Amino acid sequence: MELIKKPVRTCRTVEIRETEELFENSIIVPDSKPDVKSLLVVNAECFVTGVEKTGRMLEVSGEIKYRILYVSDTPDNRLESITSRFPWSVSCQKPKTEAEIGVVAGCRCQHTEAGAVNGRKIVARSVTSLICRFFEIMNNDLSREIEGENVFVKSMPINVVSLKDNLDSVVRVNQTLALPHGSPAIGEILYAKVNLGNPQVGYREDEACLECKGTLNMLYRGDMAEDSVESVVLEFPVKVNTGIDPGGENIVIASTALKNWEVEPQEDSDGIYTQVSISMEVEVNAQAIRHEEQMVVDDAYSLDAIINLNKAPLDIVTDERELVENLEANTHIRLDSDNGSPDEIYMVAVGKKSVLSNISDNHINVQGNVGVDVIYLADRKARDTRSQTVEIPFTRTLPLPDGENWQVTEADCFIEDSSFEIISNDSLDITVKISIRLRLCKCSSYACIESIEEIKRETPSRKAPILLYFAQPGDTLWSVAKQYRIPLENLARDNNMGPEDTLEVGRKMFIMA
């Protein structure tokens, strides 16, 4: 007799590790820029540039990019900006497992404090969160059939999430955007912030792509007057290919991370800088999966031999899905001004800071916060520009899908939109629309038959042509047929039953030789 197996390729998250790292960097003001009088905004963005595996260790490298807006120490308190990059590297140990381990690494800057040591040096301290999701891709051999004469097999269905394709890529996206009609041309970009909304998977013939909304908040100096400061909010569509052919009944699950971006002024057809070009690097992690029902051997016996079924536990992903929840986060900000009220609100820029999740009872608890930078002109005559930074917390509780053994393998949030309303001379109400995205998987353990062993070959003996048997607690037609090594169909027929009928305790049964 022979055990027939079928390989099924699966991907299972084995560990999610999140660590916090503190990076301190000294930023020197370029010689071409004036001294720093006061800092307005120090925005830190952290992203992963590479992952190297060496034995049991993992080396994750990346960059922190600081975009700084400050008031210069000049008679006109001119606004200036600088950008600086710093590399970083963190070592961590891989999970202890014999299987080949893959990793998806991401990071976000949770909090930054910065101060001007003197007019030419800024010291920034950033707390970053490094998230490593370790996974293993395996070819699991499922026992499908046992071939041989006089062998009877009982099969059972199991749900399996099979992996059809897996691809990590970095896609470059370029956009050219026009300023709103009537806006002054760009003299110099002072500060910018880019947000990507929650990406949605779209299918185009033989490829799957991700589509989302991009938002650019930009503060710039006009080209006509040195003291003019303008701000715009530009929305634009973003579409990136995953590189995966969905094919048939496959479902594509993908996540994105904005690794790096740059904004530059661009000339229009008349040679005037009324356009901006955005260049972005978007990291895409995509998998094509399929939910399948597989029939596997649960038990077996032979009429001609005593056989041993060698079983081993098999951990396998049986369900995987995404949950998306939209919410609004609100806050009230009072702006300081010596005149009692600011003269102009330049910009309200929003960015995500952190998001955490945990499972409790039958619910998923999600909490996080977004950061808001408000840049405003406190006094036009004194050319007094100020800023205020706040963090808006948010929480949400979501019900778990039916069943147990769920695990959150990825939690993220996206800024979909933001708005503010001036409610008094010195106060703002700010509303941020957030999209929470959770990726869940469910793992189950099965006793899978790895091999069969023929212990003793013999013909079953009978003490009498007909035996009388009374059903015991826990008996099934299958267990009785296996015990006496007779065909299940014969036992059911001889007792006027169907093969799937339930045995009642004490039922009298005839065992025919």
Specify the CATH number for the domain of residue 472: 3.10.350.10
pLDDT of residue 97: 76
Give the residue numbers spanning the domain of 202: 148-293
What is the arithmetic mean of pLDDT over 419-431?
A: 92
Q: Model confidence at 460, in pLDDT bands (50, 70, 90)?
A: low
Q: How many residues does the chain have?
A: 513
- pLDDT tens per residue, range 190-241: 999 999 999 999 887 778 999 999 999 999 999 887 778 999 999 999 999 9
What residues contact residue 270 under an 8 Å CB cut-off, 6+ apart?
Answer: none
What is the arithmetic mean of pLDDT over 245-249?
A: 80
Rounded to an integer, what distance in angstroms lies between the CA atom of residue 21 and that of residue 43?
Answer: 17
At residue 504, what are phi and psi to the nearest 5 degrees? -90, 140
- pLDDT tens per residue, range 367-390: 999 999 999 999 998 899 999 999
- pLDDT tens per residue, range 292-325: 999 999 999 998 888 899 999 988 999 999 999 9
Q: For residue 503, what is the DSSP state?
A: P
Residue 266 CA to chain centroid, in angstroms? 34
Asked if the structure places residue 35 within a domain, the reply is yes
pLDDT of residue 454: 86
Q: Are residues 445 and 474 in the same domain?
A: no
Q: Are residues 77 and 8 in the same domain?
A: yes
What would you report as the CA-atom Rg of the chain, rounded to the nearest whole angstrom? 32
Q: Are residues 353 and 219 in the same domain?
A: no
pLDDT of residue 115: 95
pLDDT at 167 over 60: yes
Asked if the structure places residue 17 within a domain, the reply is yes
Q: Model confidence at 173, in pLDDT bands (50, 70, 90)?
A: very high
Q: Are residues 288 and 182 in the same domain?
A: yes
What is the arithmetic mean of pLDDT over 48-63?
A: 90
Residue 225 CA to chain centroid, in angstroms? 45
* % of the chain at pLDDT higher than 70: 98
Q: Are residues 3 and 125 in the same domain?
A: yes
Our CA dihedral for 443, 444, 445, 448, rounded to 10 degrees, sits at: -100
Asked if the structure places residue 316 within a domain, the reply is no
pLDDT at 72 over 80: yes
Q: Model confidence at 27, in pLDDT bands (50, 70, 90)?
A: very high
Alpha helices in 343-411 (DSSP H): none
What is the arithmetic mean of pLDDT over 436-458?
A: 88
Rounded to an integer, what distance in angstroms lies between the CA atom of residue 111 and that of residue 43?
Answer: 9
**Residue at a domain's end among 144, 171, 198:** 144
Asked if the structure places residue 456 within a domain, the reply is no
What is the arithmetic mean of pLDDT over 66-84?
A: 95
Asked if the structure places residue 216 within a domain, the reply is yes
The model's pTM: 0.87
In terms of Cβ atoms closer than 10 Å to its own Cβ (0-12, 13-18, 19+), residue 222 is: middle
Q: Are residues 492 and 435 in the same domain?
A: no
pLDDT of residue 158: 92
Asked if the structure places residue 250 within a domain, the reply is yes
pLDDT at 56 over 90: no
Nearest to 131 by CA among 260, 33, 257: 257
pLDDT of residue 338: 82
Q: For residue 34, what is the DSSP state?
A: P
Average pLDDT, the chain: 91
Q: Are residues 138 and 2 in the same domain?
A: yes
**Residue at a domain's end among 104, 126, 144:** 144
**Residue at a domain's end among 401, 419, 450:** 450
- pLDDT tens per residue, range 118-144: 999 999 999 999 999 999 888 889 999
pLDDT of residue 362: 87
pLDDT at 355 over 80: yes
Q: Are residues 166 and 262 in the same domain?
A: yes
pLDDT of residue 248: 77
Higher pLDDT, 126 or 338: 126
Q: Are residues 135 and 253 in the same domain?
A: no
Q: Are residues 338 and 429 in the same domain?
A: yes
- Cα angle: 342, vertex 343, 345; to 5 degrees: 75
What residues contact residue 417 under an 8 Å CB cut-off, 6+ apart?
Answer: 215, 432, 433
Q: Are residues 222 and 287 in the same domain?
A: yes
Asked if the structure places residue 479 within a domain, the reply is yes
The two most distant CA atoms of the chain are separated, in Å, by: 114
Asked if the structure places residue 305 within a domain, the reply is no
- Cα angle: 483, vertex 487, 489; to 5 degrees: 120
pLDDT of residue 464: 64
Q: How many domains does the chain have?
A: 4
Q: Model confidence at 506, in pLDDT bands (50, 70, 90)?
A: very high
E strands present in 183-228: 186-196, 200-204, 207-222
Q: Are residues 65 and 157 in the same domain?
A: no
